[in-house]
Amino acid sequence: MSLLSIVVAVLGGLTAALAIYYAAKDLSADLVLLGAAALTAIGWIVLGIALGVRDATSAGPPPERVTLYGYVLTGLMLVVGGGWLGAFERTRWGSVVIAVTCAVTLVLLMRIHQIWPGGFA
């Protein structure tokens, strides 16, 4: 589980860095940046599914489900929403939006790991 969330974190971080580069170069989001955001979104979907499977199969005490899936859903919505705004805002500020939303997903992942160490306890 932690490996998967590290992958998602790296994807989000790379997308954010790429978006910052685009913004610095006064570029609007193109298919490369949007593709990176889409990859990050897919990462969040996979992470959500993996957490769900683990939740369904593990015998331990159930996690606080509303919060856990709320966090995962928020992460996914952030990446998709940021990509959406970036796709339609054809200025550098669209790239800034993608950078901001991807950076926030990193904070979300960090929070998930604080609340549920190693996936969830």
Partner 1 sequence: MTAPRTDDRPADRDGRGTAAGRSRGGRGFEIVLVAVYGIFALSATARSLVQVLRDFDRAPVAYSLSLLAAATYIAVTVALVRGGRRSRVARVLVVIELIGVLAVGTLTVLDPVLFPEATVWSVYGQGYGYVPLALPVLALVYMLLGARKHPEA
* Interface ranges with partner 1 (CB under 8 A): 26, 66-67, 70, 74, 77-78, 81-82, 85, 88-94, 96-97, 100-101, 104
- Whether 25 and 19 have beta carbons less than 8 Å apart is answered as no
Q: Minimal distance in Å, beta carbon 102 to partner 1?
A: 11
Q: Minimal distance in Å, beta carbon 113 to partner 1?
A: 17
Q: Minimal distance in Å, beta carbon 30 to partner 1?
A: 14
User: Between residues 29 and 51, which has the closer beta carbon with respect to partner 1?
Assistant: 29
Instruction: Quote the DSSP letter at residue 25.
Output: T
- Whether 38 and 14 have beta carbons less than 8 Å apart is answered as no
User: Between residues 15 and 101, which has the closer beta carbon with respect to partner 1?
Assistant: 101
The pair of structure tokens assigned to 118 is 């190693």
- Rounded CA-CA distance 119/103 in Å is 20
